Structure 1
Amino acid sequence: MRTTQPSAQPPVRPSTAVKQTGLPLSALLALATAVFITALTETLPAGVLPAMSTDLGVSESAMGQSVTIYAIGTAVTALPLTAATAGWRRKRLLLTAMAGFAAANTVTALSSGYPLTMAARFVAGVAAGLAWALLAGYARRLAPAPLQGKAIAIAMTGAPVALSLGVPAGTFLGTALGWWVAFLLMTVLAVGVIGWIAATVPDHPGHPGQGRAERAPALRALAVPGVVPVLFVTFVFVLAHTVLYTYIAPYLDRAGLGDATGLVLLVFGVASLAGIWFTGVRIHRRLRTLTLASGLLVAGAAAVLAVPVDGPAPVYVAAVLWGLGWGGIPTLLQTAVGDAGGEQADAAQAMLVTLWNAAMAGGGVAGGFLLDRFGAGSFPWTVLALLLPVLAVVTAARVHGFPARRRTG
C-alpha cells in the first residue's frame, strides 16, 4: 500500500486497552513512521524503476520483480513468523523488524548486482512480514475502545504519506543523485524510528502458546460467514492495484509523460491522504458504502487511463480518482475481516496479510508479463476486468463480510 498492507494482530477487548480518554499521539506517530518505512521500502522501486534497471543491467520488467520478491518474502513468512514469535514482547518484535529494514535497505543501496539486490529485497519482505503482523493491532491496543478505529487510521497514514511524499521524493532523488541515495536515506530513517519507538511506544506482552495453534484457527476462520468474501476482495483488489502501480513509469513513458512520474505519484499520494482521512471519519458506520465507493473510484481511474490520453490532464484526473479510492482500502479491509472473523479475527487477519502480499507478488509478475507481451496500454483494461468481480462480491456480501449495517461495540 504497502500500497499499504493490513495487520495480523488480533483485536483487543476494551478491558485490555489502555485506560485513557485520548490518543497517545507520539506513540501513534512513531507507528505511523514505521508504516511509512514499510510502505516506502515496498513501493520505492516503482518510482526509480528505469534507473535501477539501467544500473543493474536488467530489463524494466525484470526490475519490477523487486516488488514481487519483496511481497513473496512477506507472503511466505507472515504466518510462520507470527506463530514463531507469538511469545515475544511486542515492542521487541517491532524493533527487530525495523532493524531488518535498516539492514536490507543498506544492502540494496550498496549493491551493484541484480541477485544481491533481489536477496536484500526478500529480506526486506521478511521484515515486513513481522511489521504487518503488529502495526495496526499495536495501534489498536494503544487506544480506548471508542477510539481504536481512529488510532488505526492515524497509524496507517504512514502508507499514503509514503505514496504522496516518499515515492515522489525518491523519484526526484533517483533522477538527481542516483536511486541508491533514496534507499540509503531509508536506512537513516529506520535507525531514527528505532530510537523513537524505544522512547515512546508502550510495550505489550506476546501471546505464549498461540503459535502452535495458529494453523487450526486459520482454517476455522474460513468457515466463518463473511471471511471468504473479504479475503477474495482483498486479493483481487490488491492484484489490480499492483499491476498498474508497479509499472506506472512505463505506462507514463508510453503516454509521453515519463518526466512527470514523480508529479503523478505525488497527486496520487495526496489524494490517498484525503481518502484515508475520509475513511477514518466515516468507517464506524459506512464501511460497506466506503468499500463500494473505493472500487468505483479506482475503476473510474482505470477507465480514464484506458482511453488514449490527449495531454496530461486526464492522467492527473485519473491519479486523483485512484488515490481517493485506494487510500482507505487497507483500513476498510482490515476492519471488515476483523468484524467478520469474530473470535477467529486474529487468524482471519493473518490470512489477509498473506493474501495481500500474494496479490502483490502476483501483480508484479502479471504486470511484467503484460508489459512484455501486450505493452503498458493493457494495464488499465486489466484493472477494470479485475475490479468487476470485486464490486460484485462487495455488493452481494451485504449480510456477512460487508454488511449494510456494521455491528459495533
Structure 2
Amino acid sequence: MRAAWSPPACTGAVAIVMAGVPVALSLGVPAGTFLGAALGWRTTFSVMTVLAVVLIAWITATVPDFPGQRQGGRIPVPRTLAVPGVAPVLLVTLVFVLAHTVLYTYIAAFLGGVGMGGSVDLVLLAFGVASLASILFTGAHIDRRLRALTIAGTVLVAAAATLLAVAAGTPSLVYAAAVLWGLGWGGAPTLLQTAAADAGGEAADTAQAMLVTLWNAAMAGGGVAGGLLLGLLGPAALPWSVLTLLAPVLAVVLAARTHGFPTRRPDASG
C-alpha cells in the first residue's frame, strides 16, 4: 500500500506555467495574425523578439531559485512507469494533445475549406476566451474534481469536433464549436500536469518530465499527422480524426478511477 503523499510546493507553479500553453496559443495566435496583417511579418517578429527579451530579463530578476533534487534521488523512468496511474496519465496526455494539435495546427485550412477563411482570427478569439474561462474554472475546482473535469474536458472537445465534422457549413455552429473546444481544452494542461504529479508520488519529478516530453512529441506528431491527413483526405477529415483519437482517451480516463484519475486526489482534504 502506497504511503500518503502530497505534491511538492512547486506543483502549483508548474501548473500555472502549463496553463500558459493554452493562453499563449489561443490569444497569441490571433494577436500575431492581426499584427502580421496590419504591420507585416517583419514588424511582428521584431515585437515578439523584444517581448521575449523583456520576459527573459523579468524571469532572471524575479523568479527565485529552488534547490535541486539530491544526486541519486531521481527515480528512473522504468520504475516511474511502473507506479500505478502514471502510464494512464502519460497515455492520455500523448493522445489528447495529438488530437488537439492535428486540428489546431490546420484550423486555417479547415476554415478555408468551409468558406470561413476570413474568420480565422475571430474563431481563434472565441476559442481563446473560452480557454481562459476554462483555466479559471479548473483552477478553482481541480483539488476536488480533477477526474470529473478531465472527463468533461474530453467530452467537450469531442462535442466540438462533432459539430465541426457535421455542421461546419453553418458559421454560428463553428463559433459554438470553438467555444466548446476552448472550454474543454483550456484546463487540460493543468489537469494532466496535476494528475501526473499525484500519480507519480515520490517519482513526481520524473513523471512530470516524461509528461512534458510526450507533450512536445505529440505537438510535433500532430503537425505531421494533420499534414498527411490534409494532403490525403482534405480538411474535412481533421475533426473526424480528433473524434477517433478522443475515444481511447475517454476510455482510459474512465478506467483509471483508482490510480491516474481517481475520484479523490491524494492531497484532498475533508
Which one of the candidate residues 90, 104, 107 is aligned to 1:248? 107
Asked if the contact 2:94–2:215 (Cα under 8 Å) also holds between the matched residues in 1, the reply is yes
Q: Which has the higher contact order (CA 8 A, sep 6+)?
A: 2
Corresponding position of 2:53: 191
Identity over the aligned pairs, expressed in percent? 68
Counterpart Cα distance in 2 of 1:338 and 1:356: 15
Aligned-residue CA RMSD (Å): 1.9
Counterpart Cα distance in 1 of 2:136 and 2:63: 23
Corresponding position of 1:397: 256
Which one of the candidate residues 223, 234, 253 is aligned to 1:364? 223
Q: What is the TM-score of this pair, normalised by structure 2?
A: 0.91
Asked if the contact 1:153–1:280 (Cα under 8 Å) also holds between the matched residues in 2, the reply is no
Q: What is the TM-score of this pair, normalised by structure 1?
A: 0.61
Which one of the candidate residues 340, 353, 356 is aligned to 2:199? 340
- CA deviations over 1:143-170 (Å, ceiling 9, x no partner): xxxxx64x55544443333234311110
Corresponding position of 1:265: 124
Within 5 Å, give how 1:52-201 maps onto structure 2: 140=10, 149=12, 151-201=13-63
Counterpart Cα distance in 2 of 1:287 and 1:261: 32
Counterpart Cα distance in 1 of 2:16 and 2:210: 23
Asked if the contact 2:19–2:187 (Cα under 8 Å) also holds between the matched residues in 1, the reply is no
Asked if the contact 1:275–1:324 (Cα under 8 Å) also holds between the matched residues in 2, the reply is yes
Matched length: 263
Which one of the candidate residues 134, 140, 149 is aligned to 1:275? 134
The letter of the residue matching 2:155 is L
Counterpart Cα distance in 1 of 2:194 and 2:242: 24
Q: Which portions of structure 1, spanning 4 or more consecutive aligned residues, are displaced by more than 6 angstroms?
A: none
List alignment gaps of at least 5 residues for structure 1: 1-10, 18-139, 141-147
Matched position secondary structure for 1:222 = helix
Asked if the contact 1:153–1:277 (Cα under 8 Å) also holds between the matched residues in 2, the reply is no
Counterpart Cα distance in 1 of 2:257 and 2:94: 19
Counterpart Cα distance in 2 of 1:356 and 1:261: 25
Matched position secondary structure for 1:209 = coil
List alignment gaps of at least 5 residues for structure 2: 1-6
Corresponding position of 2:79: 220
Counterpart Cα distance in 2 of 1:358 and 1:308: 31
Q: Report the Cα offset of residue 190 of structure 1.
A: 1.1
